Amino acid sequence: MAQYTLDVNGKSQTVNVDSDTPLLWVLRDSLNLVGTKFGCGIAQCGACTVHIDGIAMRSCSIPVSKVNGPVTTIEGLSENGTHPVQKAWKQHDVPQCGYCQAGQMMTAAAFLKENKNPSEKEICSAMNGNICRCGTYPRINKAVKTASKL
């Protein structure tokens, strides 16, 4: 076990875990930020997506010892769900079960910072790494488009 100090959602946090502990479990178990979800643990599904230094990353596959930048999770995307992506998600009532959606929104938020006016094709490709077993993809894509205009 070792001590790691992380900047999570603008707050400095110190945790005591093994160096190989994935950021995902540090967030969920040590810091009580359970909005970031576990889906596969091998960087395949996107459920665990967070931002590190503003870039969308798979928190299940980054050991805490390799985190070198401020972390933003769904809980830190905005106060009370007012980030454009969250607003658009609400406007389109995107979720079914809702489990994949934090990851979807984190991917979308990072993508929209890079591409302010994406085409439909660019949206699909950007979102392709996030699985939704419920099949909410059409609404996800519409919401990303809407968010790009907010």
Partner 1 sequence: MENKKTLNRRTFFKISGAAGGGMVLGFSWLAQGCKQPEEIAKVLEMPSEWYDINAYLKIGDNGVVTIFSQNPEIGQNVKTSMPMIVAEELDIDWENVIVEQAGLNTDKFPRQVAGGSQSIRQGWKALRDAGATARQMLINAAAQQWEVDPSKLTVSKGIIQGPNGQELGYGEVASMAATMEVPTDVPHKKITDFNIIGSDKKNVDLQNIVTGKPLFGIDTKREGMQYASVLRPPAFGQKLVSFDDAEARKVSGVNDVIKFGNKIAVLADATWPAMKAKKLINAEWAVDSTLESTADHDKQLIAKLNTDNTEPFRNDGDVDKAFSEADEIISRVYESPFLPHNCMEPMNFFADVREDKVEMHGPIQTPAWSRSRASKIIDRKEEDIDVTMSRMGGGFGRRLYGDFSDEAAEISSIAKKPIQLIFTREDDMTAGTYRQAIKYKIEASLKDNKITGYKLSEAAINSNMYGLIPNFFPAGAIPNLRISGNKQKSNITTGAWRAPYTNFLAFAEQSFFDEVAEKLGKDEVDLRMELLEIAKPIAESDEKIEYSPARMQGCIKLAAEKAKWGKQAQGTYQGISAYYSHNTHVVEIANVVMEDGQAVVKKVTCAVDCGIVINPDAATNMVTGGIIDGIGHAMYGDLTFDNGVPSAANFDEYRLIRNTEIPEIDVHFVPSTKDPTGLGEPTLPPAGGAIANAIYKATGTRMYKQPFVKEMNVIG
User: Does residue 6 belong to the site contacting ligand FES (CB under 6 A)?
Assistant: no
Task: Please provide residue 121's backbone torsions phi and psi, each rounded to the nearest 5 degrees.
Answer: -65, -45
Contacting residue, 62, 109, 111, 139, with partner 1 by CB under 8 A: 139
Q: Rounded distance, CA 84 to CA 135, Å?
A: 22
Q: What is the DSSP letter of 80?
A: T
Which residue type sits at 33? L
Which among ligand FES, partner 1, none contacts residue 82 (Cβ within 5 to 8 A by kind)? partner 1
Q: Rounded distance, CA 98 to CA 37, Å?
A: 11
User: Does residue 97 belong to the site contacting partner 1 (CB under 8 A)?
Assistant: yes
Which among partner 1, ligand FES, none contacts residue 9 (Cβ within 5 to 8 A by kind)? none
- Which two tokens mark 105? 């929104």
Half-sphere exposure of 27 (CA within 13 A, CB side): 31
Which of the stretches 25-33, 76-84, 116-124, 131-139 binds ligand FES when contact is defined by CB under 6 A?
A: 131-139
Q: Which residues would be at the binding site for partner 1 (CB under 8 A)?
A: 1, 17-18, 20-22, 25, 28-30, 32-42, 44-45, 47, 73-75, 77-78, 80-82, 86-87, 89-90, 93-102, 105, 124-125, 127-141
